[in-house]
Every structure is written in structure tokens, then in C-alpha cells.
Homo-oligomer: A and B are copies of this chain.
Amino acid sequence: MPEITGYNFIGGQRSAIGSRTVKSVDARTGKDLPFAFHQATLEEIDSAALAAAAAYPVYRSLSAARRAEFLDAIADQLDALGDDFVAQVCQETALPTARILGERGRTSGQMRLFAKLLRRGDFYGARIDRALPDRQPLPRPDLRQYRIGLGPVAVFGASNFPLAFSTAGGDTAAALAAGCPVVFKAHSGHMATAEHVANAVIQAAEQTGMPAGVFNMIYGSGVGEALVKHASIQAVGFTGSLMGGRALCDMAAARDQPIPVFAEMSSINPVILLTHALKVRAASIANELCASVIQGCGQFCTSPGLVLGIRSSEFSAFKLRLAAVLADQPAQTMLNAGTLRSYEQGLARLHAHPGINHLAGNSQQGTEAQPQLFAADVQLLLEQDEILQEEVFGPTTIVVEVESEAQLTAALNSLHGQLTATLIGENEDFEHFGELTTLLEHKVGRILFNGYPTGVEVCDAMVHGGPYPATSDARGTSVGTLAIDRFMRPVCLQNYPESLLPDALKDANPLNIMRLVDGVSTRDKI
């Protein structure tokens, strides 16, 4: 691996104009690591955005096949990041080696999936309405539509996925696939990781002859504001807190030219335990749910933070069982001191609330996060008390007992937007509770039956999105191939000479892609 310089990545060069540096930290010891990262100056932020803007016309005009080569090359470079890299990521994040190995594979796999999408060609959204010269009262001109990248995209990575939602993560993959150069703001929680990944991306860009400026990365705190406000930036991808995401949305909306922001922010991911399932397999549900709650120290966007069930002896037994298994779980180191502090504060708020009881978990102290279980009065949900709407990021969950099916419906209706909702049930339950799914569709981006929300498959059908505050725009997703839609816009070409049409719209369909021609989906030539 190249040595870490801590210089910003701007237009294919490295830059360290400013004198202010920031340090990365060993997540377990809290000690500074021996790297200094140069906080980007305003001049460097400007240069990075301008480098992306300069790369845009060249990059977006490359064939999709060429962009696919670039993404595949990034994937290969990511896979080639070896044991020393993995050790570095673990040091900065306290995440275990196996997890980082898995996440590396997920991240390179994600790049390859977007490369496949580019070759498949449906992302073009190609539509052709042929001329009708004899139509009365007026002829119809030849009209053809395809989609192009919006322009340079600013991406803010997440602390909790140092690879898959970070430098070369889902937002970057989607933007690069769309034909949009990227300016990435390195997360302060894993800057050494970010530098290694950025080097991998740059190497892939050079190997495949991409324009300088196709990928840029800046370091520092507070640099995001200038980036989002930069006139060259045309869209923003963000994964993080509600406060941070909303601030970016507000900035973007207040620009002279407002730009779209897709911010994935806050979700408590309700899990609903249905009657028959509890009768048949309460103990295994408790075990599985506990595993989901503590997985990755609860540091997942889709961690189940709320468990609902209808009052019954089975639900009572389930709660006891869940309390017992959760009490047995070890404490874990969180991503960084800030995350632990937030977790402690979140727990303190729950402990202090008169409508919430603590059911299990060792007293929270020291440098690690203790798994916790709470029970909340359903009235808190029905009255939309903020305490149950806010995510407590970490290995904790809250059970809520409802009196009846009607109250369950009312409680779910009171929830804000979510990334996921989960129904655990048997066939008898589904016949009975089918209408819940209609209600849940209004609330969430993904509904699971008999699974656990942690674990977000990267594929065509995934939606990692949902109504506010889960995300800032329910029409998008930050995982899966549909994520590319956030960064593309349609253009209509009227009466174009064949020679000037893009390949996606030429009569002969040289890309052999599916197109909507006169209202019919087809690969046929015209």
C-alpha cells in the first residue's frame, strides 16, 4: 500500500495547501494514529469541485462500457487491498476483521453490479416515439429520450460502513455509474481507510484512462458546507445523522440553484411479532432478534430499535427470554468515542423517561457499549413522544406491548418514516394481518417477512430508503441499482439526425438494449 500522506485528492493530484491537520484515532485505545490529514482549504474545496466539473463533460460522454471498465477496475483494486489494509480499517473502526473482509467483498461486488447495470443499459431509460408525418391535425415529430448524469456529485460517507457506504461505497458507485464525477468528503472516523480506498480509485481511473477529476477527496471538519454550496456541485449523497443530513438539505435548498440531496438519516426499524409466531417459536425469535440487535454493536441503519407485540402470555414470555439472552451478550467497542457518547446519552434519556422501564443490560460504563433492553408504554407511541421516534444508535432495543390489533395499527400509524419494518409471523398470522402490509408500505422503504432488517442485499430490487426522516426523499434508495436514478435526468432529442443520436437511441440499437418504442418494450431495431 502507498504510504499515507494525508493530502487531499484533487483533479488527479495531491494537495495540502492548508496548515491545519486532523488526526485519525485508534478506535479501541482512543489514541491518535501517526497520520496527519490536511484539512482542505476553501481554495482546495473550490479546486476539487472545479476538477469534477471539468471532468464531467468528458466523463459523461464516455460510453457506458468504458465507465463499466472503470468500475470493474475499482472493484479489482478494492479486492487487492490486503491484510494490512484490513488491519488499518479495523484499527480505525474497532470493527472485527471478518466484518471488514465481508464489507470489502460487498463494496467491490457493488461496483461490479453497477458495471453490469451499465452494460445492461436499462439505466438509459431509452424511449422512442417515432415521427407520424401524416397525423391529423398536426404531424408528430420524432422524439427520443435518454438519461444523462446530473453533473458533479458531493458524497458524504458514513462512519458505520467504512467501505460499503464510504469512499468507494454505494453513493460513489451510483454517481460514477451515472456519469457524474465525485467529490468525496472523507469521514473523520476513518481517514486512513479513506486514503487507501481513494488511492485504489485513482489507480483504477488511471488504468482505465478516466479524466483527471473524475474522483476527488477532501479531508477536514466543516468542509462539507462549502462543498454543498459550490455552484459546480449538482447533487449530494449523504449517510449519517438526522441533524447532519437535514443541515445539508437546508443548505442545498437555499442555494441560488437548489440541488437534490439524498440523505439517509434516521430509522428505528420496527419489528412486529405476530400472535401465532410467538406461540410456535418465541424462544428462537428472541435469540434471532437479539443477534440482530447486537450485530455490529447495533451500528446499522437498519438495526431493530422497536419491537411490538400484542399482549399475551406468549409475548410476556418472549420479553423475559429476550431480556435473558440480551443480558448475556458482551459489551463491544463502538466506532469512535463520539458514537459511544451518543449511545450513553441516548440510554440516559431512556432511563430518565417515566414511561420507559429498563428490562436488561449491564450498567453502561467504561469504553464499551453494553447491550440494553427497555420496555415503553404504548401511549408514548400513540402520543408521538419524540423519545420513541429517535434512533438510539447502538446495541439497544425497546419493546412495546399493545392491547389489541386496533392499537397495533394505531401505534404503527404514529411512527415516522422508516427504512424498514419487519413482520414475524406464521401463515395464520399473514392471513389475519395482511392489511398491516398496506399500512406499512406508507411508512417504510422495505418490508420484511420473517427476517431481520440488518443485512441489506445489494441487488436490483433493494430499497434502502423510505419516507422522512429515514431519508430526505422517499423516491430514492442508496443501496441497489435503482440508486443510480438519484443522479440522472432525462433529455429529449427531437428530430435528431441519426448521426448525432447517442448509441442508446440510434435506429439500429447498437447497444442491443431494451427500449420503449412507440409504447412497446423491445430490443428491435427501427
CB-based nearest B residue for A113: B519
Quick check: B461 and A144 within 8 Å, CB to CB? yes
Chain B residues with CB under 8 Å of A499's CB are 430-431, 434
Looking at the assembled complex, report how far the CB atom of A252 sits from the nearest CB atom of chain B, in whole angstroms. 8
Question: How long is the Cα–Cα vector from A57 to B443 in the complex, in angstroms?
Answer: 12
Known: A258-B253, A493-B447, A495-B448. A459 touches B129 (CB 8 A): yes
Stretch at the interface among A156-164, A191-199, A469-477: A469-477
Number of interface residues of A (CB under 8 A): 81
Quick check: A494 and B446 within 8 Å, CB to CB? yes
CB-based nearest B residue for A447: B493
Chain B residues with CB under 8 Å of A148's CB are 441
Quick check: B500 and A127 within 8 Å, CB to CB? no
Looking at the assembled complex, report how far the CB atom of A112 sits from the nearest CB atom of chain B, in whole angstroms. 12
Quick check: B491 and A446 within 8 Å, CB to CB? yes
Interface residues as binary, A473-488 with B (CB distance below 8 Å gives 1, 0 otherwise): 1110100101001001
**A377 interfacial contact with B, CB 8 Å:** no
Known: A253-B250, A519-B120. A497 touches B461 (CB 8 A): no
Q: Which one of B102, B434, B465, B490 contacts A137 once the chains associate, using CB atoms below 8 Å?
A: B102
**A20 interfacial contact with B, CB 8 Å:** no
Stretch at the interface among A280-288, A321-329, A450-458: A450-458
Give the oligomeric copy count: 2
**A509 interfacial contact with B, CB 8 Å:** no
Chain B residues with CB under 8 Å of A469's CB are 257
Quick check: A482 and B145 within 8 Å, CB to CB? yes
Chain B residues with CB under 8 Å of A427's CB are 497
Which residue, A127, A475, A495, has most C-beta atoms of chain B within 10 A? A475
Q: Which one of B257, B258, B461 contacts A145 once the chains associate, using CB atoms below 8 Å?
A: B461
Quick check: B151 and A449 within 8 Å, CB to CB? no
**A468 interfacial contact with B, CB 8 Å:** yes
Interface residues of A (CB under 8 A from B): 56-57, 61, 102, 116, 120, 122, 125, 127-129, 137-138, 140-141, 143-145, 148, 150-151, 249-250, 253-254, 257-258, 260, 417, 427, 430-431, 434, 437-439, 441-442, 444-451, 455, 457, 459-463, 465, 467-469, 472-475, 477, 480, 482, 485, 488-497, 499-500, 514, 516, 519, 521
List the 3 closest A-B pairs by CB distance, nearest first: A253-B253, A463-B492, A143-B461
User: Could you list 14 A-B pairs, sorted by A, with CB under 8 Å?
Assistant: A56-B442, A57-B438, A125-B482, A129-B462, A145-B461, A249-B253, A430-B499, A449-B500, A451-B494, A451-B495, A463-B491, A465-B490, A467-B489, A521-B521
